[in-house]
Structure 1
Amino acid sequence: MDAFVVMPNHVHGIVVIVGAGLKPAPTTTRHGLPEIVRQFKTFSARRINEMRGTPGVSVWQRNDDEHIIRNEESLNCIREYIANNPLKWQLERENLGIAGGGF
């Protein structure tokens, strides 16, 4: 992970995939971003539900918003967005008057 933040109902993060590019990484096992995200959601939901005592309850939304960061400028903008997201959440909660924030 390059940068990440855990929000009350979602996570933002930059995943660095070593060897990513036009050719496959020189490893015996390759996992693309969709598989990495799927595994993260599966294992974290299982652990969250164990802690809550709510086995099988859905934790994460079904879709993801992902894209490839292609340059330093974009990387820096996304890092800034991630760093500032908790403040935006708090402001949104206060402005909307909704417990847990708006969707």
Structure 2
Amino acid sequence: MMLSIRLKARFWLIILTKLKSKNMDLPKRKPTRLKGYDYSQNGAYFVTICTHNRKCLFSNIVGAIHESPENQLTQYGEFVKQIIEILSGRFNVVIPKYVIMPNHLHLIIEIDNDNEKRAIRESPLQYNRSVIDKLVGFLKMNVSKKMHSIYRDKIWQRSYHDHIIRGEKDYREIWEYIDTNVQRWEKDCFYNVERS
């Protein structure tokens, strides 16, 4: 038994040594956040969160080939909506615009650190993670808890995409993008017809 464990360990050591000698690094995830940027500072952010393998869980786009498609939330989509609606009070942010699509959601998140309620709710030790990270983690965790009793597969794609909104023009374009996301569903880069 002990010999078998030693042989396996030696085998993997040889493999890893060969990979390194051939300058073949193991795959690494590239960081998705802007290096050196403080995501806890005041500002507006465009955040996109996707489902695992872009599986359509949250809504159905009805009439997408017609001029006015309708976005009908599923039971899971209603869970997402419930959690989004409590985020503002919990994290001292404003979410003026969002859309829950079949396999992803977009949010505009405005951070206001000047609000005095934040200082009361959070200790200085909680500032090491950005507000956006905490908010996305809270949303994913709580939606997962609500869905877990009826949906057992993995729900979320790892991480999320963010964009720092820079200026009024950028803000208006993102607002318009969210507003028209349902109408553009079949041409969307996240488009997928696979249902849960």
TM-score (norm 1): 0.72
Say whether the 8 Å CA contact 1:3–1:82 is kept in structure 2: yes
Find the counterpart in structure 2 of residue 36 from structure 1: 135
- Matched-pair contact (CA < 8 Å) for 1:8–1:100: no
Structure in which a larger fraction of residues adopt strand: 2
Where does the alignment leave 5 or more consecutive residues of structure 2 unmatched? 1-94
How many residue pairs get aligned? The number is 90
Question: Which residue does the alignment assign to 2:184?
Answer: 88
Separation in 1 of the partners of 2:155 and 2:99? 17
Which consecutive aligned stretches of 4+ in structure 1 deviate over 2 angstroms post-superposition?
Answer: 98-101
Paired residues of 1:5 and 1:13 also in contact (CA < 8 A): yes
Structure 1: 5+ residue runs without aligned partners? none
Shift of 1:78: 0.5
Structure 1 residues 100 and 92: CA distance shift in structure 2, 3 A: farther
Residue in 1 that maps onto 2:160:
64
Tell me the distance in 2 between the aligned counterparts of 1:100 and 1:44: 20
Equivalent residue letter for 1:11:
L
**% identical aligned pairs:** 27
1-structure distance, mates of 2:194, 2:176: 23
Instruction: Tell which has more relative contact order, 1 or 2 (C-alpha 8 A, sep 6+).
Output: 2
**TM-align CA RMSD:** 2.7
Counterpart in 2 of 1:19?
113
Matched, 1:76 2:168: no
1:26 CA displacement:
5.9
Cα distance in 1 for partners of 2:102, 2:179 equals 15
Contact preservation (8 Å) 1:5, 1:11: yes
Number of the residue aligned with 1:54: 151
Contact 1:10 1:60 (C-alpha < 8 Å) held by counterparts: no
Structure 1 residues 46 and 3, CA gap change in structure 2 (3 angstroms): same
